[in-house]
Structures are given as C-alpha cells and as structure tokens.
C-alpha cells in the first residue's frame, strides 16, 4: 500500500496526539471528517495502523529488568516453541530470526533473580536446545516510528 502525504500527516498526528478525536484530527488537517475516517479505515485494513491501545511501561508495572534471549530450537519444533513462548507472561515479544539462534525474545523481569527463573522456564520447554541472554543496561533509542513516517512522507512527495 502506498502512503501519500496526507496519510503521513495523519500518522504523525496519531503518534503525536494519540488521544485526540477524529473530528479534531480532521479540523487540524483541514480535511472532511469522512475523508479522514476513510483514510484511517484503509490504513487499518492494509495493516499500516495495527493498534490504538496505550503504550505501557513494563518497568512501571514492576518489571524493570529487560533482556533479549536468543533461543535455539530443535529442528521441526519452531512453531511449538513459539506457541509455548506465548504462554509466558514475561515475554513481551518474540521473533523468528536468522543468525545465532532461531528465536529472539524480549523478556522482562522484576529483578535479576526473577529473570533467571524465567530463563530457566524457557530452557525447560520441549524443543529448546539452549538460550543465550543479553541484559539491556539502558535504553538509548526508545521505540519510535515517527522518523520512519516522516521519511516515508518525504519519499511520497518526490
């Protein structure tokens, strides 16, 4: 799906002012409310907009320790292990990857001891061969999409 300049402006507003109403977005952008709603519906349908919920902090929820766990899986068990990972609440996301492992999981813990318990739970899952853990010390670039949206918008103008 091509994202044009108006879509980019809409996405920027959604990121910068997520609690604003559709009517207010339309007023700010100088477009009809129906036009804005149609754009939002299309971008949701096409998978550009994937959610509208709040962004939560694991640290504020009592889980300040963040680690990235590389998980090596027995051949043929990737889907089973992926399904098992979904049942572990401390895993906030997981990806199939290339390179040194088969899966990469972002894991949070209350403290280092709790993180170790979670990793031991992962190691005991059927199909997991080994894990390698890297603990994050400090976030240097927070999760962000606005620079990408702006880059796409610039490309749409050309």
- Domains, the chain, in order of start with CATH, read 5-54 (1.10.10.10), 58-136 (3.30.70.920)
Q: Which of 145, 142, 120 is nearest to 130 (CA)?
A: 120
Give the pLDDT confidence score for residue 55 in this predicted structure. 86
In order of 3, 23, 71, 87, the CA distances from 131 in angstroms are 39, 49, 5, 18
Q: What is the mean pLDDT of residues 131-150?
A: 94
- pLDDT tens sequence across 44-68: 999 999 988 888 999 999 999 999 9
Average pLDDT, the chain: 94
Half-sphere exposure of 150 (CA within 13 A, CB side): 6
Q: How far apart are CA 90 and CA 75, in angstroms?
A: 25
- pLDDT tens sequence across 95-139: 999 998 999 999 999 999 999 999 999 999 999 999 999 999 999
């Amino acid at each position: 799906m091509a994202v044009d300049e108006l879509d980019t402006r809409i996405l920027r507003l959604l990121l910068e002012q997520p609690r604003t109403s559709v009517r207010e977005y339309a007023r700010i952008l100088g477009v009809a409310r129906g036009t804005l709603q149609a754009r939002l519906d299309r971008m949701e349908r096409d998978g550009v907009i994937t959610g509208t919920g709040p962004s939560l902090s694991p640290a504020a929820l009592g889980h300040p320790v963040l680690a990235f766990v590389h998980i090596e899986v027995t051949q043929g068990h990737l889907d089973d292990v992926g399904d098992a990972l979904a049942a572990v609440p401390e895993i906030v996301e997981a990806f199939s990857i290339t390179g040194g492992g088969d899966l990469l999981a972002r894991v949070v813990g209350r403290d280092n001891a709790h993180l170790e318990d979670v990793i031991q739970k992962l190691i005991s899952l059927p199909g997991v061969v080994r894990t390698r853990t890297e603990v994050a010390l400090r976030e240097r670039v927070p999760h962000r999409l606005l620079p990408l949206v702006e880059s796409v918008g610039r490309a749409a103008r050309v």
